[in-house]
With several copies, the nearest count.
Chain A
Amino acid sequence: MQVLYFAWLRERIGVGSEDVSPPDTVTTVGGLIDWLKTREDRYAAAFADTKSIRVAIDQEQADFDASIAGAREIALFPPVTGG
């Protein structure tokens, strides 16, 4: 699946998007983030404070306990500040 990062999350992780293949044991957004944190220090640092992370699955807002089964595109980003 495609994972997208925006704003300071993108800057800290160093890429705007990447293809990832988490193991089958990863079933939720929260699980995906925990798995990403184990990959490299920059992920662990970027996701240190999950209270500041928002999620969209296939471009719809979602929660950390939402299922990622069948998702094509999962976006992780800070709280939005447009307008």
Chain B
Amino acid sequence: MAVRVQEADFDPGAELEALTAGDTGIGAVVSFTGLVRGTGITEMTLEHYPGMTEKALAEIEAQAHARWPLQGAIIIHRVGPLAPGARIVFVATASRHRKAAFEAAEYIMDFLKTRAPFWKKEAAIDGTARWVEARDTDDSAAERWK
């Protein structure tokens, strides 16, 4: 199962290499990396629902495989405290052609944003902390695949 939830950082280059290694039928690889934006914050903490998180991500990945002809896909999501600029999430998809790889990566991100049980809490430079609110645009992004 190419789904990982972890506190540790990951290496996008190594993940891309592993995704395509030994399969010369792949013509297109798309990756998405999500980073902690540092505007006004000192730290971002990711909480999640252990058990359900992995199931939700695996199901999103399975749905992408059912919908597009993919030779491979990977989803990595970090949890715990993260500094500004740190990597949060990595999604990569491999296919024969670029359209499938692009669409599948966007699909996975849209559903990850609306279905996977993660919550972000920001510690601001003024010492306050707040839970990040869900964005309506994320819901509408997921709706377009219906």
Contact = CB atoms under 8 A, between A and B. Distances in A.
A82 B116 contact: yes
A60 B56 CA distance: 8
Interface residues on B, range: 20 to 34
Interface residues of A, number: 16
A75 B134 contact: no
A7 B47 CA distance: 7
Interface in A30-56: 56
Interface string B19-31: 0000000000000
Contacts, number: 70
21 contacts: A7-B121, A8-B131, A59-B49, A59-B52, A75-B49, A75-B52, A77-B117, A78-B131, A80-B116, A80-B134, A81-B119, A81-B131, A81-B134, A82-B48, A82-B77, A82-B89, A83-B77, A83-B88, A83-B113, A83-B116, A83-B118
B34 A6 contact: no
B112 interface: yes
Nearest to A54: B117
A82 B49 contact: no
